[in-house]
Amino acid sequence: MDLSYIWYNLIFNPMNPNRLILKGHFLLIVIVLGLSACKTALIPVCDISKSQNPPGTVELAPNLFIDKTEITNENYREFIYWTRQVYGENAKEVHQIYPDTTVWDELEGHLEAIASKYLHHPAYGNYPVVGVSYDQAQAYAQWRSDRVMQVYLIEGGKIEAYPDESPETAFTIARYFKGEYRNITPDPEVVLYPHYSLPDAETYRKTVRFADSLNALNYDKCVEKNCGDYHLTGCGEDGPPENSFLPRPVLCEACKATLVTQLQDNVREMMAEPGKVFGGSFGRPCFTEAAGKEGTAIADGYTGFRNSCTYQPWKNTDAATR
């Protein structure tokens, strides 16, 4: 069991009734183990060979992980919520990351009502976020890397959890390794950090091979097989969704096995190379849009994203890009 994922969900999932919140602030509270960070598998930032899967991912190859699902509205709302708490309700940083909800106006069908509630309504929490630009997806990946690293360090007893953060005091990976986070000297044992990013073409090719071999096996183990065969390879073999004007939820709750879902349809997925997308989208056959297809309007109602992740060693030159 991936305990890091459990704590990540407990801290970051706004729909989780057990999520730890105090006075409306985004609170980081975890069980701080009385062990050195490098003596527990909960903090895989000291030795890649002993690392666990980063939260939300499955392993494709040594030190290469991919999200099980597309990034959901619920996931992205947490990014917005954290940014509001740190920078302020109407800060430019909030506006810069907010998805374009007018993308629904460009789609076929009568979707005026969807435009106002798709991102925020609980009914769509498990649906893929859309209307996100390439730069916004990159910002989410960096924010996610920072938050997961923060949880790892708290779990390992390397830093404390602070309920109130400001733009000047908020945890980032760069601030920690440069010794600029609350005057804390970086632990010399901690040499790696989780780096979430948009997947490149090779990662998607590996994911397709992985998903095709893994999902069929795990699907046979599902207690209830009412998810539809489209979860096996992500090509919509069971036909279009009930409403072809909307994407599907990213994961059928009846099937709890480890899956990589909705890989080649549901929404197109942004790739590491700007302007490139992987797969097809809802209402469109997956075979019509291959990996690396040009995306003329990335911030649209058909395009979402997922993250890949690797553990990387910190270098002083990294600070220039963060």
156: its two tokens: 């390992």
Query: Residues 300, 161: one domain?
Result: no
Please tell me the predicted confidence (pLDDT) of residue 19: 44
Q: At what angle do helices 3-12 and 134-155 cross, to 10 degrees?
A: 120
320 found inside a domain: no
Please tell me the predicted confidence (pLDDT) of residue 131: 92
Q: What is the mean pLDDT of residues 106-118?
A: 70
Higher pLDDT, 142 or 266: 142
Rounded-to-integer distance, Cα 267 and Cα 251, Å: 13
Please tell me the predicted confidence (pLDDT) of residue 26: 38
Query: Residues 297, 223: one domain?
Result: yes
Query: Tokens 């789609």 appear where?
Result: 107
Task: Name which of 169, 180, 165, 171 is nearest 86 in CA terms.
Answer: 165
**Each residue of 238-272: pLDDT tens digit?**
444 444 566 777 766 555 556 787 777 688 899 99
64 found inside a domain: no
Query: Residues 141, 277: one domain?
Result: no
**Each residue of 188-226: pLDDT tens digit?**
989 899 999 999 999 999 998 877 666 665 556 555 555
Please tell me the predicted confidence (pLDDT) of residue 21: 38
Share of the chain above pLDDT 90, in %: 38
Higher pLDDT, 49 or 179: 179
Question: What does 261-309 look like in DSSP terms, one character per residue?
Answer: -S-SSSSEEE-SSTTEEES--TTS-GGGS-TTEE-S-SSSTTEE---EE
86 found inside a domain: no
Please tell me the predicted confidence (pLDDT) of residue 288: 42
Final residue in a domain of this structure, among 144, 175, 193: 193
96 found inside a domain: no
Q: What is the mean pLDDT of residues 89-102?
A: 94
Query: Residues 124, 138: one domain?
Result: no
Query: Residues 206, 186: one domain?
Result: no
Query: Residues 229, 302: one domain?
Result: yes
Please tell me the predicted confidence (pLDDT) of residue 85: 94
Higher pLDDT, 136 or 282: 136
CA 46, 50, 56, 61 torsion: positive or negative? Answer: positive
- Tally Cβ neighbours within 10 Å of residue 156: 25
Please tell me the predicted confidence (pLDDT) of residue 43: 55
121: its two tokens: 């309504």
Query: Residues 148, 263: one domain?
Result: no
77 sits in the region (left: phi over 0; alpha: psi -120 to 50; else beta) called: alpha
50: its two tokens: 């002993």
316 found inside a domain: no
Final residue in a domain of this structure, among 165, 193, 221: 193
Task: Name which of 253, 268, 293, 30 is nearest 151 in CA terms.
Answer: 30
Query: Residues 233, 284: one domain?
Result: yes
Rounded-to-integer distance, Cα 104 and Cα 111, Å: 6
87 found inside a domain: no
Final residue in a domain of this structure, among 159, 193, 227: 193
Identify which of 104-118, 132-146, 205-219 has the greatest average pLDDT: 132-146
Residue 213 host element (H or E): helix 201-219
Strand order in the sheet with 293-294: 293-294, 276-278, 268-270, 303-304
Task: Name which of 177, 137, 134 is nearest 158 in CA terms.
Answer: 177
Please tell me the predicted confidence (pLDDT) of residue 302: 82
| Strand pairing category for 21-22 and 25-26 | antiparallel
Please tell me the predicted confidence (pLDDT) of residue 17: 40
Query: Residues 256, 289: one domain?
Result: yes
Q: How confident is the model at residue 143 (pLDDT cuts 50, 70, 90)?
A: very high
Mean pLDDT over each residue of the chain, to the nearest integer: 75
Query: Residues 151, 187: one domain?
Result: yes
192: its two tokens: 């790696």
Structural domain count, the chain:
2
Question: Which structural domain, as residue segments, surrounds residue 217?
Answer: 101-133+199-310
152 found inside a domain: yes
Q: What is the mean pLDDT of residues 86-110?
A: 86
184: its two tokens: 């804390």
According to DSSP, the residues that pair with 197 across neighbouring strands are 308
